[in-house]
Amino acid sequence: MDHPRPYVVLSVATSVDGHIDDTGPDRLVLSNEADFDRVDQVRAESDAILIGATTLRRDNPRLLVNSARRRDERAARGLPPYPLKVTVTRSGDLDRDLRFWHHGGDKLVYCPDPAVPKLRERLGDLADVAGLGPDLDFGVMLDDLGRRGIGRLMVEGGGTIHTQFLTAGLADEIHLAIAPFFLGDPDAPRFVNAGRFPYGPGNRMTLAEARTIGDIAFLRYLPEGRAVSLSPAPPSRSEDRRWLSLAIDLAEQCPPSDTAFSVGCVIVDADGSEISRGFSRERPHFHAEESALSKVAPDDERLPGATLYSSLEPCTRRSSRPRPCAELILDSPIRRVVVAWREPPVFVADAHGVQALEAAGITVVEIPELADAASRMNAHILGL
């Protein structure tokens, strides 16, 4: 029977000058909190995570899905709460005290045949040890992972490992997170070592996504130009503009007020169909997002793929009701928000809905060219 090779996602964080670590004894932090959360999500979407033996020895990571919610979601899909953890070694020098073996789910070590007895003796029942011949070929390893039912493999480095996947043309996606600093140390390890990469100047990769995650630039490349995505592609800019314009039109229906903004909101599913809509004061004291959210069951299965469009940035502080809209959104399964207008400091001095949502890993898209339209019906409040 034929088992397809897993879809391979290489994940790496680098400095602006391309280093993945420094040469000091302490662990170098490249990502920020929201980016670590993004990585946690990619781990949760994977069937297996692979790292090289040097990274295991040097960083001693546990390599877990840290979010209990994500582990629960995996369990609900009939998956083990943690992906399979995989490492590769030639030397077999892997200590049984490493954290890798003592946290999370199943572990698997690939090595050339000669290292098998030593590793089995060292690790006992801590891990499954698989020899794949006199040498370890990554293509053969992917075949074996496919036979084990691994559909999606996340590779978390280090550079030696990434280099082999890329030079062999075995990577389907690269997730590159760039931290806003330089290291400037020529001895610091890099994302990849020297090699013959199929993706030179004559064979440009596809840039599938570029996203801002706080101070991190997140880039997603498709070396072979094709993606197998778990969820449908996010709406295009023109679809976003269309739905956001509807949210702005809805704000015209708000009962007039001098003490609160007029805002409209629409929630749209991944297929581009409306789930619900709302506007400010549709019910006494209601905000637009609150109103739209109140019309959907919290466990509606369309929500995880949905986008919430709001003419104004969701609020983070309220006097009239217990919970601000940013919090209501974070409590919902919605993971994408599109806004036209940032809240001006009229009623609260420190509105920061966009920031709060992004910090929690929500994708926030701003369409500033619609900000004027969104603020127009609030001209009397703004003193315009």
Which stretches of the chain bind ligand NAP, using CB under 6 A? 12-13, 20-21, 30, 51-55, 58-59, 88-91, 93, 136, 156-161, 164, 189
Residue 323 C-beta: closest distance to Zn ion, Å: 9
- Whether the CB-CB separation of 6 and 153 falls below 8 Å is answered with yes
- Whether the CB-CB separation of 167 and 138 falls below 8 Å is answered with no
Identify what 136 binds: Zn ion, ligand NAP, none; CB under 5 to 8 Å per kind.
ligand NAP
Residue 302 has what DSSP assignment?
Answer: T
In terms of DSSP bridges, do strands 206-213 and 264-268 run parallel, antiparallel, or are they unpaired?
unpaired
Any residues with CB less than 8 A from the CB of 222 and at least 6 apart, and which? 172, 173, 205, 206, 208
In this structure, the number of other CB atoms found within 10 A of the CB of residue 301 comes to 9
Identify what 88 binds: ligand NAP, Zn ion, none; CB under 5 to 8 Å per kind.
ligand NAP
- Whether the CB-CB separation of 162 and 58 falls below 8 Å is answered with no
Residue 89 C-beta: closest distance to ligand NAP, Å: 3
Residue 214 C-beta: closest distance to ligand NAP, Å: 17
Which amino acid belongs to residue 148? R
Identify what 46 binds: ligand NAP, Zn ion, none; CB under 5 to 8 Å per kind.
none
Site residues for Zn ion, 272-311, by CB under 5 A, read 287
Pick from 315, 337, 339, 356: which binds Zn ion (CB under 5 A)? 315
- Whether the CB-CB separation of 153 and 8 falls below 8 Å is answered with yes
DSSP element (H, E) containing 8? strand 7-14
Identify what 35 binds: ligand NAP, Zn ion, none; CB under 5 to 8 Å per kind.
none
- Whether the CB-CB separation of 31 and 216 falls below 8 Å is answered with yes
Say whether residue 357 binds Zn ion (CB under 5 A): no
- Dmax (CA) of the chain: 79
Identify what 161 binds: Zn ion, ligand NAP, none; CB under 5 to 8 Å per kind.
ligand NAP
Identify what 42 binds: ligand NAP, Zn ion, none; CB under 5 to 8 Å per kind.
none
Instruction: Tell me whether residue 54 or residue 307 sits nearer to ligand NAP (CB atom).
Output: 54
With CB under 5 A as the contact rule, which of the stretches 57-65, 148-156, 241-249, 319-327 interacts with Zn ion? 319-327
Three-state SS for 361? coil
Q: Tokens representing 254?
A: 């708000």
Say whether residue 325 binds Zn ion (CB under 5 A): yes
Three-state SS for 100? helix
In 3D, which of 313, 303, 329 has the Cα closest to residue 375?
A: 313
Identify what 287 binds: Zn ion, ligand NAP, none; CB under 5 to 8 Å per kind.
Zn ion
Residue 210 C-beta: closest distance to ligand NAP, Å: 18
With CB under 5 A as the contact rule, which of the stretches 184-192, 233-241, 321-329, 372-380 interacts with Zn ion? 321-329
Instruction: Tell me whether residue 302 or residue 317 sits nearer to Zn ion (CB atom).
Output: 317
Instruction: Tell me whether residue 159 or residue 353 sits nearer to ligand NAP (CB atom).
Output: 159
Say whether residue 260 binds Zn ion (CB under 5 A): no
In this structure, the number of other CB atoms found within 10 A of the CB of residue 217 comes to 16
Say whether residue 356 binds Zn ion (CB under 5 A): no
- Whether the CB-CB separation of 213 and 30 falls below 8 Å is answered with no
In 3D, which of 223, 131, 153 has the Cα closest to residue 5?
A: 153
Binding site residues, Zn ion, CB under 5 A: 287, 315, 325
